[in-house]
Chains A and B, each alone.
Chain A
Amino acid sequence: NAGVTQTPKFQVLKTGQSMTLQCAQDMNHEYMSWYRQDPGMGLRLIHYSVGAGITDQGEVPNGYNVSRSTTEDFPLRLLSAAPSQTSVYFCASRRMGETQYFGPGTRLLVL
């Protein structure tokens, strides 16, 4: 199993640009989540999904969209990037009753 994979590893955007951060898992996990990690803030939940077609907001959802059309994929979309979205983004997945597995992260710099 590849586990949780994320692409790209690093991205530079200009303010106002849009992009999609990709996340995929091959463990047939029902639950998937997106977190952002900022210095001194720990990890904060952006959006999560409990299954294909079902998503909900986390602690810091503004400026981000998600969708879950398949069990395997959970992309995170930035509609109009802002410097405040400069961060490291982690995708995570888990099976019901178990704890989470995290991907390697995507480092995003918004200029």
Chain B
Amino acid sequence: QKEVEQDPGPLSVPEGAIVSLNCTYSNSAFQYFMWYRQYSRKGPELLMYTYSSGNKEDGRFTAQVDKSSKYISLFIRDSQPSDSATYLCAMSVGAGGTSYGKLTFGQGTILTVHP
């Protein structure tokens, strides 16, 4: 069993829809949770970062963490065609967000937002 499981998708939604992306994890030692966005043929870029249970909002994006259920989500409101990308959840153990650079990633979800 993988430590981090992510709904693989692909996901196709109309412009303006609310998108929900989800990951579950089995390692209770994970304390830091990230969402990366990756455009085609580009490197991942950090979208959201949180270390506590609850919600964190940044513009149209909301990251949700439920440590008791070992479940994290990313919500995108008013989705735009420019949101079309692969979204990767990532987690780490230890302080500073990435313990010695060791992130464990989900498989990624391909999202397409069509006009």
Contact = CB atoms under 8 A, between A and B. Distances in A.
Contacts, number: 69
Contact of B101 (A40, A41, A94, A104): A94
Given A102-B43, A102-B44, A102-B45, A43 B105 contact: yes
B97 A97 contact: yes
B105 A92 contact: no
A40 B45 contact: no
Contact of A100 (B4, B101, B104): B101
Interface stretch (A13-21, A44-52, A78-86): A44-52
Using C-beta atoms within 8 Å of the partner chain, give the interface range for chain A. Answer: 20 to 34
B113 interface: no
Interface string B92-115: 000111101111111110000000
B41 interface: yes
Interface in A30-60: 31-33, 35, 40-45, 48-50, 56, 58
Interface of B: 4, 6, 8, 34, 36, 41-46, 49, 88, 90, 95-98, 100-108
